[in-house]
Amino acid sequence: MSGDAPAPADGTREPLLLVHGLGAASHVWDPVVPLLSPHREVIALDMPGFGTEPALPSGVEPTAAALAANLRDRLVARGVERTHVAGNSLGAWVGLELGRIGAARSVTCLSPAGLWRAPIGPRKGSGRKWAKRLRPAVSAALWIGPVRDRAVATFAARPQNWPTRAARELVLAWIDSEGYDGANKAMREHIFATDDYPTDVPVTIAWAELDKQVGPPKAERRPAGTHFLVLPEVGHVPMWDDPELIAQTILDGTRAAASFRP
């Protein structure tokens, strides 16, 4: 479901864009795509600088708004003018920005970034530099069950649910992502502006109960009219923790558009 090949245009299913988080890639959605596909035309794209997608041009700050503009242009090239969007972490913030520029019919946010009250500033003591230097050893170690589970436990509540392949893909995507440093810096230096958010875009914020990365946004930091709920017993990247719950949450978010009244 990833890449930019033309999507089928059978007209029977509304399009749904899935946007991964910082350091991940589109394959993080693999467990929920089969559950969503019977109901929506699923499009899972790598953000610029992640997965197989090249980074934004030099000189363009990779803010959530810039990443959203890139995704919008790629959707338009596929013939998709407006789509439902579901995003995780930074991808959820990007989804909100797609709503702001008129490219989203609805936005479902799984533990969104950017809804903090003020910029959070640089992160101290990131292990990514050492992980890049030791990539071959890290790659090999991730085949070992306890090592894999420990790595996954930083962002998931149920490491045992993650297939070894999926866990390795996510960790190695984090190590290899060309756009990580720039997008991380931009994410931490900005906040999402909730004022004047479009009133015709229903927003669902679904917060992971066992999120170890960031806390839930205060009510004043959510777009007006947002539907807020807590996802029980899942972590910051919840797709493998409970695929059925995540798929249902996303579908519920898209269905809100049919009856939404600003």
Do the beta carbons of residue 239 and residue 186 sit within 8 Å? Answer: no
- Closest CA relative to residue 87, chosen from 68, 61, 69, 60: 68
Q: Is 3.40.50.11540 the CATH number for 14-124+179-259?
A: no
- H helix or E strand, kind and range, residue 52: none
How far apart CA 100 and CA 107 sit, in angstroms, is 10
How far apart CA 46 and CA 25 sit, in angstroms, is 5
How far apart CA 45 and CA 64 sit, in angstroms, is 15
> Tokens 């499009």, residue?
43
What pLDDT does 7 receive?
Answer: 39
Write out the chain's pLDDT in tens, 262 residues. Answer: 444 433 344 457 999 999 999 999 999 999 999 999 999 999 999 999 999 999 999 999 999 999 999 999 999 999 999 999 999 999 999 999 999 999 999 999 999 999 999 998 887 666 788 888 889 999 999 999 999 999 999 999 999 999 999 999 999 999 999 999 999 999 999 999 998 899 899 999 999 999 999 889 999 999 989 999 999 999 999 999 999 999 999 999 999 877 665 5
How far apart CA 97 and CA 91 sit, in angstroms, is 10
> Tokens 């893909």, residue?
169
What pLDDT does 112 receive?
Answer: 97
What pLDDT does 37 receive?
Answer: 97
Global confidence as pTM: 0.91
